[in-house]
Structure 1
Amino acid sequence: MEEQERINQAIRGNEQALAHLLHDHYAFLMKYLLKVTMNPALAEDLTQDTMLKCIEKIHLYNGKSKFSSWLITIASRLYIDGMRRNKLERKWQESQKQPLRFMQWQMGQTHEQWSDILEAMATVSYETRLPVMLKHYYGYSYEEIAEIINVPVGTVKSRIYNGLRHIRKELNDIEQSENG
């Protein structure tokens, strides 16, 4: 069955169609949240919360964006709200003083360069990491990112620019420490 037909059936209350939709997008959403949060437990919780929110709000899906983009929007907003509410990221980053090697396995990457990128990404705030990831890993436009995280386009551009500048500096520092 085509995805759009499943979506239409889910909106009309077909629980089996909704279950198939959620199953089809679960791994994609989990991988996205792993990259954004850099915390497997938090990513799993957010994936579950996103799925629950989707079940509650499927009737609001209007088809203006892809279903996966709608899920990313829900997940991103849940993550941002959670980070604002309890500032878990700062505590988590302080407790993690080692490179993020678990991410290599989780994301199917095995080379050291990706590990260095993740280590550098971990040094930027979630407000910066999220738009950088959406733009440069997932390929969303500035306008789409602005809609997903609910900020002006100019803010998205600024966060991406500053985030990339910071990440490049961190990668330079990592390279120098490994070579020197």
Structure 2
Amino acid sequence: MLENEKKLIILAKKGNEDAFVNLFQSHYSFLYKYLLKLTLNEETSSDLAQETMLKCYEKLNSFNGDSKFSTWLIAIASRLYIDQLRKQKRETNWINQTKVALSRQLIWKAKSQGIEWSDTFTDFNNLEAEFRIPILLRHYYGYTYEEIGELLQIRPGTVKSRVHNGIKKLRKEWTFHDE
């Protein structure tokens, strides 16, 4: 560890804000580049770098100097990134479980009311929202492509494309089920 860096760490541990700012500035570029290589996303890298430096600020007194300061930052950043991935996975699982539960409720409700339920609707619900919304607005509610474009703030051509591609995905799924 550089002598200047040691002094900055000691001063920062004593509460010297300028010393911490200097540490932050001298390591930010290195940290950001590491995170950029890890995440392949500029915004995520920037957010994680800021979060890492905040965690570093909170836990600075636990840094004992056994490793380089940059190594300690990388360890914090890596753990934060892994935590973020776990959180995203939990959220995705929760969303998928909620979709399944809601679909089951709708099927049960439809059957209990004597409404015929088709697998088509289940397949439709599995489409991404970018396809499902324009198809629903166009073919169930009868909106024009222009009206849907205004509602979703996208061009009518984009609406047509999404409707077409969504229906194409559904047909592909139906063909798969029929085989």
The TM-score, its normalising length taken from structure 1, stands at 0.47
Bigger radius of gyration: 2
The TM-score, its normalising length taken from structure 2, stands at 0.48
